[in-house]
A and B are shown apart, each in its own frame.
Chain A
Amino acid sequence: MPNTPNGHTLYQRVMAETPGGDTLITCLQCGTCGGSCPSAADMDATPRRLFAMLMAGMDDEVLKSNTPWYCVSCYFCMVRCPQNIPITEIMYTLKQEAIAQKYFDRNPHTDWAHSFIGYVEQYGRGFELGLATRYHLTHNPLGAVKKTGLMFDLARKGRVAMMPERIENMPQLTAILTEAKRIAGGEK
């Protein structure tokens, strides 16, 4: 059943929320995207199929699909698309929609993204050691053991920052992000 916050279908919202997303209506269903995608084999629907589902109003299935989460953001599909549809950017919008509607609020991908964003919003910069530690210990303790060895290897080579760097004007960044979130929230 199509879910329609504000009376708009997911298809309409994706087109509206993605810069250049209105070109999605011109999709020819040629399949060049899926054929170019390095992780298509792991997706439950290729981008072409996902777009057909979206146009058919299969909102629930689209938001449940793992396709956007397996997108590696390599832009191969996008530069090859004969209709110049910003496919990679649409994948970002679909992830955002799936998170907002609680379809994917706890999985490895979103946990990683939220941990990453947490550090950026706290310090203004990424912090690899903290991110990897927080993510793997909370989400994947068994895998963390393997990663620890790798972190030691990198640390020995002087390639790990032990402390996060904090930018000076954090209040400015916070004000900008808060305002951006307010604007984005008002749109939905």
Chain B
Amino acid sequence: MTAANGNGRKDNYLYYPGCSQRATSRAYEKSAKLVGQALGFTLEEINDWNCCGATDYFSVNVLPAYSLVARNLSLAVEQGGTRDLVAPCSACFLNLRKTDTNMGKYPKLNKQVNQALAAGNLHYDPGTLNIRHLLDVIVQDIGFDTIEARVTKPLTGLRVAPYYGCLIVRPDAGYNTEYPTHLDELLTRLGATVVDFPMKTHCCGGHMTQIGEDVALELIRRLVHNAAEYDADMIVTLCPMCQLNLDAYQGQVNSHFNTDYRLPVLFFTQLMGLAFGIKPGDLDIGSEIIPADAALAKIGQEAETKPRQAVRRDKNALPMPSLD
């Protein structure tokens, strides 16, 4: 995929949020919607969507895992609107796309998944939807020139490491599977200085932070170390899992390896919002564990730290440890 002329733009996209958008990556959804507003497109949520199964459902029982994903595809077609189904989470994107692709490639799988869907009065014909990642939509349909024209507060002087993670380019999303550059170009157009980041498509550890911490911490260390080596002010990502692992576990990496990394990790939509002049607080900047304040000060932006609300407790409540 090369052309990014903005000729494919649409006003409305079917939208599969994924579970993380309602918890750890609320900032991603909030900023994505604001950026969409600024660029003139809306994200229409699929009614009653269910979890994509992440990697764990596929580990235990492959056919139910495909069927779980296919329910979402079927509901999206019923809702109609556009052929494009957009997912902001790389893992959701992969599962939705994999299910559509493999149902199209393997007739036996297609038959069995549809047999399962029929139990819920649903059906899905592979190829009906075009499953896309949010970054792809922004880069291909809106286009770099339109985005650049919308910039009012360029990110001049900010050094960013573009972190793609694995699942947005692998196995078959149409971009270079090892060294994609579309996020690099996007960030450049926002005015930022994009540093070389050889580890840009390496794995963040995924669920290993929970079940095999030593493995995960080493993978995270390599990534953060690589970005720090190139003097990045921050890492920019497009996946809730990558953001969570690199942001929330950086402290544990430091204590495990006796290092002192303090690299904030933001979503690309948050940086787009800043460049478009949207207030940091509206983009949920400040919700990251490693604060982005110092990095944002370089571009004349200030993260609003929300005043902590006093926690009201019932007089009869049991004593609880303080959060501090």
Contact = CB atoms under 8 A, between A and B. Distances in A.
Given A160-B24, A176-B67, A183-B116, A120 B51 contact: yes
- The A interface, classified by DSSP as helix, strand, loop or mixed, is helix
Contacts of B51: 120, 124-126
B115 A183 contact: yes
B59 A92 contact: yes
B166 interface: yes
A26 interface: no
Contacts of B166: 73-76
Interface string B65-100: 011100100000000000000000000000000000
Given A125-B22, A158-B26, 8 more contacts: A79-B170, A79-B178, A93-B62, A113-B59, A117-B53, A150-B252, A167-B48, A183-B115
Most buried by B among A70, A127, A180: A180
Interface string A59-96: 00000000010101111101100000000100011011
Interface residues of B, number: 71
Categorize the interface residue count of chain A: 35 or more
Contacts of A108: 211-212
Nearest to B166: A74
B105 interface: yes
B50 to A, nearest CB: 4
A138 interface: no
A125 B219 CA distance: 28
20 contacts: A18-B62, A38-B219, A70-B215, A72-B203, A72-B219, A76-B203, A95-B59, A114-B60, A124-B51, A128-B19, A150-B248, A150-B249, A153-B289, A156-B308, A157-B287, A157-B289, A160-B23, A173-B50, A177-B64, A177-B67
B176 to A, nearest CB: 10
A172 B112 CA distance: 17
Contacts of A150: 248-249, 252
B102 interface: yes
B49 interface: yes
Nearest to A86: B171
B280 interface: no
Most buried by B among A79, A120, A169: A120
Contact of A176 (B119, B210, B248): B119
A51 interface: no
Nearest to A148: B321
Contacts of A175: 119-120
A181 to B, nearest CB: 5
A74 B120 contact: no
Given A19-B105, A38-B219, A95-B60, A72 B68 contact: no
A178 B211 CA distance: 28
A117 B60 contact: yes
Contacts of A132: 210
Contact of A112 (B56, B58, B170, B287): B56
Contacts of B27: 159
A8 B218 CA distance: 39
Interface in B258-299: 284, 286-289
Interface string A161-188: 1000101110011011111110110000
Contacts of A117: 53, 56-57, 60
Contacts of B178: 79
